[in-house]
Amino acid sequence: MLIKVKAFPGSKKQEIIKKSEDAFDIHVRAKPIGGAANQAVIEVLCEYFGLNEKEIKMVKGFKDRNKIFVVNIK
């Protein structure tokens, strides 16, 4: 399943907002330095879907706010 994520790094609180079936806004505390914000987004998605990091893969948007992930939901 492909999902679209708009990341908000450096936020005061960490949260996930579902915009539609396949689109989310994710606020993370981590700064976008050295991939820390991307890792934080993956961790939030893992917690939301109840998956581990091996089941979620970023395919687009490594240095952009708008990202696309492949999520292997069972």
Can you give the residue ranges of every domain in the chain?
1-26
Per-residue pLDDT, 39 = 96
Torsional sign, CA 48, 54, 58, 62 = positive
Distance CA 20, CA 35 (A): 26
Q: What pLDDT is recorded for position 19? A: 97
DSSP secondary structure of 17-59: EEEETTEEEEE-SS-SSTTHHHHHHHHHHHHHHT--GGGEEEE
Q: What is the pTM assigned to this prediction?
A: 0.93
pLDDT of 73 over the 90 cut: no
Do 11 and 39 contact (CB within 8 A), yes or no? Answer: no
The whole-number average pLDDT for the span 16-36 is: 96
Q: Does pLDDT of 67 surpass 80?
A: yes
